[in-house]
Structure 1
Amino acid sequence: MAILTIGELIRSPVVHSFVSKYAPENARGQYMAASNLQFTIGRFIAPIMIVFSTWLSPSVVFGIILLCALVSAVFYVKVFRMISNTTMHNE
């Protein structure tokens, strides 16, 4: 858990500066809120998985969490590529 906390502390300022740099001035708050969705979704999924763990085996619960992580990773890669393409076209 300590490793995750340290990683979050290192990542947090970088994400905010990244969002501030690429977000349009008039929509910066919306972009900041969207970047915090990962924590909000995690806070939503964690209690549900605890309830499901009474009925499902640990491997199924792990599989659901893994599926959520993989979907998030694919989404992240697509968004990153979209931002990279936009940046390259603007230069």
Structure 2
Amino acid sequence: MTAPSRAEIKELIREVFLEMCGGVQPDTSKQWLDLEQAWERLGFPSYHACYKAVQSGLFREGKEVRDRRRPGARRAKWQVNIALANKRLTQDGEKRSSR
């Protein structure tokens, strides 16, 4: 009997890890969309309305939105985490924390 290869060991560890975590974990990188594509999914009537909501602080930077502008750029390039932003929008206004 030969010892398992490094790739086989990695696959076994991955399977055990997923089992311990309760299944397949969602790929969070796919949840982030540029604001130009996200405003419709969030139910805003226009891009401008969604942009104003970001500027007013409705969404928290680093949680629901992130600024992905190039170094030295003046204008922000906002990306939105769709799942977290939808959760924030469905909360009552009194329950929204600024943290």
TM-score interval w.r.t. the shorter chain?
under 0.3
Q: Which has the higher strand share?
A: 2
Rg (Cα) greater in structure = 2
Q: Which has the higher helix share?
A: 1
Instruction: Tell me the TM-score normalized by structure 1.
Output: 0.25
